[in-house]
Structure 1
Amino acid sequence: MRADPPRLNRRALLAAPIALAACDRFAAAEPAAGPPAAPLKSITPCPFGAIGMTWQLDQADWVEQVRRHCSQLTPEWEQKMERTLGPGFTHDFSASDRMVAFARDNGLRVHGHTLIWYSQGGDVFNDDVPRARFAAEFDRYISSFVSRYRGRMAGWDVVNEPVAEDGDGLRDCHWSRALGMDGYMVRAFEQARAADPDAVLFLNEYNLENIPRKGATFLKLVERLLKLGAPIGGIGTQSHLNIEIPAGQITAFMRDAASLGLPIHISELDFPMQRDGGQLPDLRSTAERRAQQVARVGELAEAFMALPQRQRYAFTTWGLRDIDSWLLREEGKNRPDESPVLLDAAGGPNPAYQAVVDAFTGRAGA
């Protein structure tokens, strides 16, 4: 029986079928063969990260693979309000403490995830709470959490997923109703900065590469919040990739994001081959899906590699091995046939692994 089971609530990825461009140089990539996967932390031009939960700390094989491949760890669930916030504005950071201690003991830096998310906290921070109390508890939560690990966290996802699903404006939520649409975000960043001046503070969002309109809205939001004085230190793009998007779309977003000059975190990378929802059957062959998958991951890695070194914060996959991914786990999407991350169940290379290696070592397109 797993301890601390999460209730994951990831959104479906955009699924608009298109033909893969014939000129896409990654499309012909074959599954990696030969020796075991080289440690990813020795290949990436920045820290390589993965996620973890407390029940995995007792799995020797998971610990072994994390030690081999990772230089950074993101708690998957233990720092979300679902776990940390209780009735009456009580706080419980014990599960988070375990993850941070594990990282420290194994020489990993930690990226905090996440302080303020529209999806959680509304049962305690509800519309019946007087506004003065709401604001005071909002400040206390962030200050207590971030200061607890002052000097021990590389960065934090301070605000998570503030942009509307389709990119048309921002999400209305319990935070915005009480503190203002931009106000709650500015306030969150200010509180986090006061609690730990050295941590890099991120605005984190998904579907930025998949939906150009959402990517544009997100970048405009970053610019606006910076002008309002929010101490945003980095951009987190989750990169739950829709492998059917057109070639070049990922590159275009990364180029636009880089223009802001902030560090960029590939914060939750995965790349499922199966579509979510839709009325039409998926008639793509396995080979076509694999080619699309390898192409898109290769493009992302190349676009990330093209960033100035100072803007490469970290490259993080949402699950180290296939069996660690929320897409395969029973409490997630429960898709046992997926291969949505870089390593297979045994820690060997999945097909997309070689595309990342080629991009990060300068061999892509050779």
Structure 2
Amino acid sequence: MPAPAGRARRVLAATAAAAVVGTLAVGMAVAAPSTTDAAPTLGQLAAAKGRYFGSATDNPTLTNAPYTAVLGGEFNQITVGNTQKWMYTEPSRGQFDYTQADRIVDFAQAHNQVVRGHTLVWHNQLPGWIDTVPAGELLGVVRNHIANVAGHYRGDVVHWDVVNEAFEEDGTRRQSVFQQKIGDGYIAEAFKAARAADPNAELYYNDYNIEGIGAKSDAVYNLVRSFKQQGIPIDGVGLQAHLVLGQVPSTLRQNIQRFADLGVDVAITELDIRMRTPRDATKDAQQAADYRAVTNACLAVTRCVGITVWDFSDGYSWIPSVFPGEGAALIYDENFGKKPAYWAVYEALGGTTTTTTTTTTTTTTTGGNGTGCTATYRVTGQWHGGYQAEVTVRNTATSATTGWAVRWTLAQGQTVGSLWNGVATTSGRDVTVRNADYNGRIAVGGTASFGFTGTSTGANPVPTITCATT
């Protein structure tokens, strides 16, 4: 169908952006690596390998300047997290509203980022009027919706998640309103309508819990194989990858490869890796290893075209609201500090970091009852512009502690960012870390520890550190 009126401004913006980006072998434009001496971003590192590394985002965060500075600077791809879904784009039958989604697309184009469209047909986040449509009319409604939405963004979106989450865990069809009123053919009809609306967008089927080989991913595999045999247009499979700490499927790479062998691309579309909170150094290390494993699995298969995290900062993750007691699933913390998971992805994509280990111990005894402690400061990782450290507090007194505090002075150019298992306060360059509410008691001879990440513009020297019981 012809491009709708009113799109001229965005098409011109996309054309201008295309003049300053590189091109992937799959035909997708992504930002090229910088030629400056600054450390490369994840988007630049991915582009150098012919892929993208992106983030989902949502409209309320676009007014947060620290957030948008990272969103616009670190990634070369954006997914519209919510506002291209049916309840936003067609809230009333035949009445379309693209105001919110357009803002995200405009943001992406202003930062030379490609856009994944999400999603045209999904059983969730539907307007209430859908349920009232007679069975004999619903296929026409679906076709009209896709024609309008995909047509509106024709030329602006490189991928469309055409159909989302159409299968149950056992591989049977989800009994959505579309399945019940239209039948098995609705998925194929949606892909045909999307191709007609935007012949140049890559068309994806997207789902969760299909990262490894199993009943659900087998069902998707059979659907894709059938579509390819019948000539139904499908270009890719999206593996959402909402994963649990330490549970990256062992068959992830094999699964990506078998889909690629069908002649379609694969994308990791909604990556996050959740843990039981609070964070600690052990969990962070496992999460970093998991993010590295997912990134390496994608890089190992030529037709795995990119990775998208489902937002990038723990402060904007959907996980805590859905999985009580879990969270910290993303590569940046709540304060936009880069977590170990970030650096694992950075290294997997070809970025260079250095690692050092340094220890210093200073003992201070305080308190009228003669209680005391020692603190051991250890740099566990160091990279361009940043570092990670761990401090171990040992009770050297003759009775258990009820609380402790560790103090040191930052060298010029150092900062403390994300910190776990303690509560930090700073005054100028002076840092004080007190115990959290769960680790103030240390038995005689026992230890407690906290960790943190920070930035450093210089040599990152080990500080003189003192410890006192409270």
> TM-score, normalization: structure 1?
0.78
Structure 1 171/247 Cα, relative in aligned 2: closer, same or farther at 3 Å?
Answer: closer
CA-based RMSD: 2.6
Structure 2 Cα separation of the partners of residues 221 and 37 of structure 1:
43
Correspondence list, 1:1-366, <5 A: 38-44=40-46, 45=49, 46-121=51-126, 123-126=128-131, 128-164=132-168, 166-181=169-184, 183-209=185-211, 212-245=214-247, 248-274=250-276, 286=280, 288-308=282-302, 311-328=303-320, 333=323, 338-361=327-350
Structure 1 Cα separation of the partners of residues 338 and 40 of structure 2:
9
Give a deviation string over 1:7-42, Cα, whole Å, max 9, x none. xxxxxxxxxxxxxxxxxxxxxxxxxxxxx9852112
Which letter does structure 1 place at the counterpart of 2:244? N
Which letter does structure 1 place at the counterpart of 2:270? E
Mind listing any 5+ residue stretches in structure 1 that lack a counterpart? 1-35, 276-283
How many residue pairs match? The answer is: 313
Q: CA deviation at 1:326?
A: 1.5
Structure 1 362/170 Cα, relative in aligned 2: closer, same or farther at 3 Å?
Answer: farther
* Counterpart secondary structure, 2:243: coil
Structure 2 Cα separation of the partners of residues 54 and 133 of structure 1:
32
Q: CA deviation at 1:212?
A: 2.6
Structure 2 Cα separation of the partners of residues 114 and 286 of structure 1:
35
Which letter does structure 1 place at the counterpart of 2:304? R
Equivalent residue, structure 1, for 2:357: none
Question: Which range moves more in the overlay, 189-198 or 315-324?
Answer: 315-324
* Counterpart secondary structure, 2:275: coil
Structure 1 130/91 Cα, relative in aligned 2: closer, same or farther at 3 Å?
Answer: same
Structure 1 293/91 Cα, relative in aligned 2: closer, same or farther at 3 Å?
Answer: same
Runs ≥4 residues deviating over 6 A: none
Structure 1 171/122 Cα, relative in aligned 2: closer, same or farther at 3 Å?
Answer: farther
Give a deviation string over 1:170-213, Cα, whole Å, max 9, x none. 211111122212x1111111111001100001000111125732
Structure 1 169/321 Cα, relative in aligned 2: closer, same or farther at 3 Å?
Answer: same
Which letter does structure 1 place at the counterpart of 2:172? G
Equivalent residue, structure 2, for 1:12: none
Mind listing any 5+ residue stretches in structure 2 that lack a counterpart? 1-37, 354-470
* Structure with bigger RCO (C-alpha 8 Å, 6+ apart): 1
Structure 1 61/198 Cα, relative in aligned 2: closer, same or farther at 3 Å?
Answer: same
Structure 1 Cα separation of the partners of residues 261 and 323 of structure 2:
35
Structure 2 Cα separation of the partners of residues 354 and 186 of structure 1:
40
Q: CA deviation at 1:143?
A: 0.1
Which letter does structure 2 place at the counterpart of 1:115? L
Structure 1 Cα separation of the partners of residues 289 and 210 of structure 2:
18
Which letter does structure 2 place at the counterpart of 1:112? G
Instruction: Report % sequence identity.
Output: 30
Q: CA deviation at 1:236?
A: 0.5
Q: CA deviation at 1:291?
A: 4.1
Structure 2 Cα separation of the partners of residues 138 and 247 of structure 1:
35
Contact 1:321 1:344 in 2 (8 A): yes
Which letter does structure 2 place at the counterpart of 1:298? R
Structure 2 Cα separation of the partners of residues 247 and 119 of structure 1:
26
Structure 2 Cα separation of the partners of residues 215 and 124 of structure 1:
32
Give a deviation string over 1:101-150, Cα, whole Å, max 9, x none. 22222222111000001224373222x52334222211111000011111
Structure 1 37/353 Cα, relative in aligned 2: closer, same or farther at 3 Å?
Answer: farther
Contact 1:37 1:348 in 2 (8 A): no
Structure 1 Cα separation of the partners of residues 95 and 324 of structure 2:
33
Structure 2 Cα separation of the partners of residues 220 and 245 of structure 1:
25
Structure 1 334/53 Cα, relative in aligned 2: closer, same or farther at 3 Å?
Answer: farther
Larger Rg: 2
Equivalent residue, structure 1, for 2:398: none
Contact 1:266 1:316 in 2 (8 A): yes
Contact 1:49 1:315 in 2 (8 A): yes
Contact 1:186 1:229 in 2 (8 A): no
Which letter does structure 2 place at the counterpart of 1:174? V
Structure 1 229/180 Cα, relative in aligned 2: closer, same or farther at 3 Å?
Answer: farther
Which letter does structure 1 place at the counterpart of 2:251? Q
Larger helix percent = 1
